[in-house]
Copies of this chain bind each other. A is one copy, B any other.
Amino acid sequence: MTELRGPVRIVGTGLIGTSIGLALARLGVVVELVDGNPDNALMAERIGAGSRLVEIEPQLVVVAVPPDHVGAVVAEQLEQTDAVVTDAASVKSKPLADARSLVPDVSRYVGSHPMAGSERNGPLAARADLFDGATWAITPHATSDPDAVDLVRRLAEACGARTVELSVEDHDLGVARVSHLPHLMSALAAGTLADAPASHLELSGQGVRDVTRIAAGDPRLWTQIVSANSTALTGLLEQIRGELDRLLVALGKEEANDELTAILGQGVSGAVRVPGKHGTPHIDLVTVLVTIPDRPGQLAKLFADAAESGANVEDLRIDHSPGRPVGEVELAVKPGSVDQLVDVLTDRGWVVHT
């Protein structure tokens, strides 16, 4: 069992690197902070993520630089130190291939991917608890030293994450499916709205808001992410193109037909497999709709009343239909809690629909 004693060198003090520094610092591990941008490193030091100059050899180096540079920095750190080296990039094949092309021996390198993030960037968005309970993928390659794998697992656990071990290829295909492809589909759907007349956008409902939300992400960062995973993504996009052609043929018949229903049915089969809250695959929750006046304090009153019923609200959503003077809140609860919740809310004067 390899212990994580430190020092740990963190190269790249953006959101992820600084958050790892904060998480390790709270455990008393010595952290060295390195960043090409001295302002970032200074900022990270000031908020307590480590120190800029540490005069000892690191046990572990964490490379948390932008995706394009990961492989080169990993290779550099393998050459400059005797440390185990890991990275935090969201794609694993390319950094490994890049590092391999630069140094002969990559056995001290083990890729990893902490699956937590934020729409906010930079050291100021960092938090010691960013990874608490998050999934952290560990992706050993054929020549990874088992002790190095172990040490990287200790790092993830020290940050409070739950580790999942996958091969490099399997990881990249997985994130292509559940992250990169959805992002590209969202971007393509949103792209058709860029030049749409305003009168069309007025007809928007919750569906288009959900589908296009992630398309607002930083195009430069996403360019790096998707190019680094181009092999896995190309296969999936070709599959999408095949389905799109099938869809165009089916729509061309102008009448409702079984082919269309089959394509849409395939979508249902996929959608219901996406895990919900806390990784539980698809708990059956019941939705209770409550009409709510749009003014301060109403949500507080609603949740106080809901809590008194003893029901745990597992999920919620506010409906934003344009022009509605009142809002609507969807509360999702376990089936056993529904009756009591509805009774209590109705008693307190809420307009409730199940």
Q: Does A1 contact B (CB under 8 A)?
A: no
Q: Are A230 and B254 in contact (CB under 8 A)?
A: yes
Q: Are B68 and A266 in contact (CB under 8 A)?
A: no
Q: CA separation between A307 and B293, bound complex, in Å?
A: 14
Q: Which of A133, A173, A257: most chain B CB closer than 10 A?
A: A133
Which residues of chain B come closer than 8 Å to A273, judged between CB atoms? 193-194, 196, 201
Q: CA separation between A245 and B294, bound complex, in Å?
A: 45
| Chain A: interface size category | 35 or more
Q: CA separation between A192 and B300, bound complex, in Å?
A: 40
Task: State whether A204 and B244 are in contact (beta carbons under 8 Å apart), knowing that A186-B267, A219-B265 are contacts in the complex.
Answer: no
Q: Are B207 and A210 in contact (CB under 8 A)?
A: no
Copies of this chain present: 2
Q: Does A51 contact B (CB under 8 A)?
A: no
Question: Interface digits, A264-295 against B, CB 8 Å rule (1 contact, 0 not)?
Answer: 11111111111111111100000101010011
- Selecting from A57-65, A78-86, A150-158, A321-329, the interface stretch reads A321-329
Q: Does A105 contact B (CB under 8 A)?
A: no
Which residues of chain B come closer than 8 Å to A135, judged between CB atoms? 202-203, 321-323
By a beta-carbon cutoff of 8 Å, the part of chain A in contact with chain B is: 68, 115-116, 118-119, 125, 127, 129, 132-135, 137, 162, 164, 166, 170-171, 173-175, 177-179, 181-194, 196-197, 199-205, 207-217, 219-220, 222-224, 226-228, 230, 233-234, 236-241, 243-245, 247-248, 251-257, 260-261, 263-281, 287, 289, 291, 294-297, 299-307, 310-313, 315-318, 320-327, 351, 353
A-B contact pairs, 12 of them (CB 8 A): A119-B287, A170-B199, A174-B196, A179-B207, A179-B208, A188-B244, A193-B270, A194-B266, A204-B274, A216-B272, A223-B260, A278-B322
Q: A-B pairs with the 9 shortest C-beta distances?
A: A187-B267, A279-B322, A133-B324, A193-B270, A174-B200, A190-B270, A300-B303, A219-B264, A215-B267
